[in-house]
Amino acid sequence: MRNFLKSVNRIVVKIGTSSLIHPNGKINLDGIDQLAFVLTDLRNQGKEILLVSSGAIGVGMAKLMISQRPCEIPLQQAVAAVGQAELMQIYNQRFLRYSQQTAQVLLTRDVVDFPESRSNVINTLEQLLAMGILPIINENDTVAVDEMDHTRKFGDNDELSAIVSQLVKADVLIMLSDIDGFYSENPTKNKHAVLYSTVSVINQTLLDQASGEGSRFGTGGMVSKLKAAQRVLAEKSTMVLANGKPPRIIFDILAGKEVGTLFKGEKI
């Protein structure tokens, strides 16, 4: 049923903060290195890869040795500014180990909402892909806030990854999290929770089954992932939600193996 994933070419991968930061708050360097290895190998196979990466605040917290996510917006933005620079330095180091050039792309909601700037974003991403460069995309947390008449914030990087998939007309969005897929209930609270293999329609019942918020280092929860999947399904496209520890699971997903939850549009 998933054999079509073997032939996809343009792939957006979203990595969550929980896959980049250990539970103790330290940076997961091994996980980042594995991610760089996997994505570079896919590039070597001729596939076009875009990475949407969370983690700016989480990495900033580690860098500044802050144990709890700050509540004040100016402090969050300051921590994100420190963390984004550190995160890109780590990414650049790890990807260059495998001779893969990367580029940083920071977006805010208003950029993709206005036609001219939206076109500019698409052109930039398309040019980077044509040059064989792997874009690493994140929300510009230092300026992304909601104002009364000017919305700059996406909400979280789950939604951002779905929007990026729309912009570049990706064949599949692979969303890596700290959970094996979408369950009927929270599997950490109910061992009898059932993992959904395939979801074709997201209704209120499924949204009600989604629960909880993200880790103390990130913002995403299962509801945000379902809403991202809604956006993908509306485009008659595909999303796979899987556990990103380790990132090599991407190979299994693209081999058509039954891992994670497949959100499949009608025209697949």
Using only the alpha carbons of the chain, give its radius of gyration: 17
Tokens 């913002």: give the residue.
Answer: 219
Quick count: other Cβ atoms within 10 Å of Cβ 176? Answer: 25
1 annotated ligand binder: no
200 in a known ligand binding site: no
Residue 172's nearest CA partner among 229, 216, 115, 118 is 229
DSSP state of 176: E
User: Is 198 assigned to a binding site?
Assistant: no
Ligand-binding annotation for 54, yes or no, is yes
Is residue 14 marked as binding?
Answer: yes
Q: Is 83 annotated as a binding residue?
A: no
SS3 224: helix
Q: Are 179 and 185 in contact (CB under 8 A)?
A: no
Q: Is 63 annotated as a binding residue?
A: no
DSSP symbol at 240: E
User: Is 224 labelled a binding residue?
Assistant: yes
Confirm or deny that 191 is annotated as ligand binding.
no
CA-to-CA distance for 218 and 141, rounded, in angstroms?
12
Q: Binding residue per annotation — 223? A: yes
Nearest by Cα to 146 from 114, 108, 94, 90: 108
Q: d(Cα 102, Cα 50) in Å, to the nearest integer?
A: 10
What gap in Å lies between CA 131 and CA 123, rounded to an integer? 12
Task: Estimate the share of the chain in helix, then strand, then coil, as percent rounded to the nearest 5.
Answer: 45, 20, 40
DSSP code at position 21 = B
The answer to whether 26 is a known ligand-binding residue is no
How far is the first Cα of the chain from the last one, in angstroms, to the nearest whole number?
10
- Kindly state the tokens that stand for 123: 């052109």
Residue ranges at the known binding site for ATP:
14, 177-178, 219-225
Residue ranges at the known binding site:
14, 54, 141, 157, 177-178, 219-225
Residue ranges at the known binding site for substrate:
54, 141, 157
